[in-house]
Amino acid sequence: MIIAVVSAKGGTGKSTITLNLAGALSIYKKKVRVIDADPQGSIAQWSKIKKQTEPTIIIQSAPVVEKTIKKKSKKYDITIFDSPPTFKKRMKSIMQSSDMLIIPVTPGLADYWSTQKLVDIYLEEKEKKPNLDARLLINRIDRRTRLGKDFRVFLEKLSIPIFMTEIPMRIIYSEAWYAGLTVDRLQPNGNAAKDFRLLSKEVMLWLTKSCMK
């Protein structure tokens, strides 16, 4: 299965979500590959300093992968694709190359508006590829604020399923990049690791349901 983490703008935390979700999914004894197609290449750079050998996460820096992603992904149970932020034709190509889309959204009107446009593209592509599925992921949430408390209700207007798991702002994500580890390896009992384990359970259930279609 190919999961693309997509957004229409930078700053939504795509790379952090891609990397740490891959780490959390590997506990299911799955062969997980990460493809870094974001021009910033953060994950590709991380792969040079990474200190964990298990789980099996293969980092491949590739600016253009859509045409070959299906063929190369047959060796892996799950491929997670960190896509470049774009509204252009390439976004449609990414969607057509993927089975599922995770759309991170950070609280705020700017992110909401860009996500709204991205959802419109998704719904258009879904008409061509009915099995294409998407879910929103609330990221960098601060539940102490009114916006943080109300944002889920606000997002429900987009009529796209939203993961129950929400990813709060935490300094450990920056620390994990620096350490060359995913958060579940850096602090296995920490709250960030627990968040991504919960997210990975939701993703696995989602994958199972998709395979049964």
Which carries the bigger pLDDT value, residue 113 or residue 63?
113
Tell me if the pTM is above 0.75.
yes
> Region 99-122: what's the mean pLDDT?
93
Q: What percent of the chain has pLDDT over 90?
A: 54
Reduced 3-state DSSP string for the chain:
CEEEECCCCCCCCHHHHHHHHHHHHHHHCCCEEEEECCCCCHHHHHHCCCCCCCCCEEEEECCCCCCCHHHHHHHCCEEEEECCCCCCHHHHHHHHHCCEEEEEECCCHHHHHHHHHHHHHHHHHHHHCCCCEEEEEEEEECCCCHHHHHHHHHHHHHCCCECCCCEECCCHHHHHHHHCCCHHHHCCCCHHHHHHHHHHHHHHHHHHHHHCC
Counting the structural domains of the chain, the total is: 1
**pLDDT score at 58:** 66
* 129 has pLDDT over 90: yes
CATH at residue 118: 3.40.50.300
Q: Which residues span the domain enclosing 143? A: 2-211
**pLDDT score at 69:** 60
**pLDDT score at 6:** 93
